[in-house]
Amino acid sequence: MNKIQIMQYRLIGIEETAKCLGLNKQTLYNWISQKKIEYIKIRGAIRFDVAKLEEWIKQSTIDPQCTVKNKSISLKIQPKTKNGRVKKVKPAFGTNEWSVATLNFLNGCSNNCKYCYARYRKTCLKTKTTNNWKTEVLQKTIPKKYKKYEGTVMFPSTHDITLDHLNESLLVIERILQPGNDILLVSKPRLECIKAICEKFKNYKSKILFRFTIGSADSKVLKFWEPKAPDFNERLSCLKYNTPHNLSQVIR
C-alpha cells in the first residue's frame, strides 16, 4: 500500500470509538475479540476506519416492525428461526418510531443546536468540529428521483430546513413526493420556509405532515440551546400560518 492510499484513511482509536458508539471500552474490546466489529491493527495498536464505522452504524439500524400509512397499520411478518420459533425483535425507537426511512442532503446545520446528536456524532468521528458544524455543506448531488417507500419518509433528520438551502430543500421534498411517498417534515420552523413549502406543495396536503420543534415558550432559553434557530414568536407564527392551509402538523 503506497502513501497516497494510506492518507485516504481517517482512523480513530479505542477511546474515541467507544465514546461515539456510547459503549464502555471493555465492551468494545469484547466486540473486537468476538469479531463483531471491523478494525485495523497497526503494530499492535487497534484503530477504526471512520468511513467503515459510519457504514457499519447505518447497516446496524433496525427497521421498524410496524409502519403507519393512510391511518391504517400494516404489520411485517415476524422473522423466525430454523426451528420455527419467532425471533425476538427490539421495538422501534428514535426516528424509526415515526418513519421507515430518513433522508438528508446537508452535512452541518446553521442553527447549531448544542444538544444535536448529529453534531455530537460527527465531532466524535472527527468529520466535523463544534466550530464548523454551523457551516452547511452539501453531502452529495441531490438524487434525480427517490424510490417509493412502504411507509412515511422523514426529512430532514440531521439538519433543519433553513433559508441558506431552502431551494435545495424544496427540490428534495418535490422528488420525495413524486413517486407517491408520504413525508414527515421535521424542523424548527422559520416562517419564510414554511410559506414556501405550503405554496409549492398545496396540492400535496394529504401527503405532508409537519413536525414542528417548539422547545420552549421562552426565547432566551431557545437562544441558549439553539443559537441561530427562530425565536418562539416566529415558531408560533408558523403554527398560525399553517393551520388555515389545512396541512397536518404536530409539535414537540
Average pLDDT over residues 12-39: 87
| DSSP single-letter state for residue 119 | H
Lowest-confidence segment of 55-59, 89-93, 97-101, 128-132 by average pLDDT? 89-93
pLDDT at 1 > cutoff 50? no
Q: Find all residues with CB under 8 Å of 41, minimum gap 6, and list them.
A: 47
pLDDT at 10 > cutoff 50? yes
**Which pLDDT belongs to residue 177?**
95
pLDDT at 212 > cutoff 50? yes
Question: Computed over its alpha carbons, how large is the radius of gyration of the chain?
Answer: 21
**Which pLDDT belongs to residue 132?**
86
Percent of the chain predicted with pLDDT > 90: 36
pLDDT at 56 > cutoff 50? yes
Residue among 250, 8, 11 nearest 152 (CA): 250
Mean pLDDT for all residues in the chain: 82
**Which pLDDT belongs to residue 90?**
61
Between helix 191-200 and helix 232-242 the angle, nearest 10°, is 20
pLDDT tens digits, one per residue of 138-179: 887 889 999 999 999 999 999 999 999 999 999 999 999 999
Residue whose entry in the numeric block shows the C-alpha cell 473486537: 32
Peptide bond into 79 cis (omega under 30): no
Instruction: DSSP for 135-196, please give it.
Output: S-EE-SPPPS--PPPSSPEEE-SSS---GGGHHHHHHHHHHHHTTT--EEEEE---HHHHHH
pLDDT tens digits, one per residue of 67-116: 444 444 344 445 556 666 655 656 656 677 778 999 999 989 999 998 88
Percent of the chain predicted with pLDDT > 70: 80
Tell me how far apart the 2 most distant CA atoms of the chain are, in Å.
66
**Which pLDDT belongs to residue 19?**
87
**Which pLDDT belongs to residue 165?**
94
CA distance 225 to 79: 42
> Is the distance from CB of 94 to CB of 158 less than 8 angstroms?
no
Lowest-confidence segment of 33-42, 67-76, 126-135, 157-166 by average pLDDT? 67-76
pTM: 0.64
Q: Residue 91 corresponds to which cell in the numbers above?
A: 421495538
**Which pLDDT belongs to residue 73?**
38
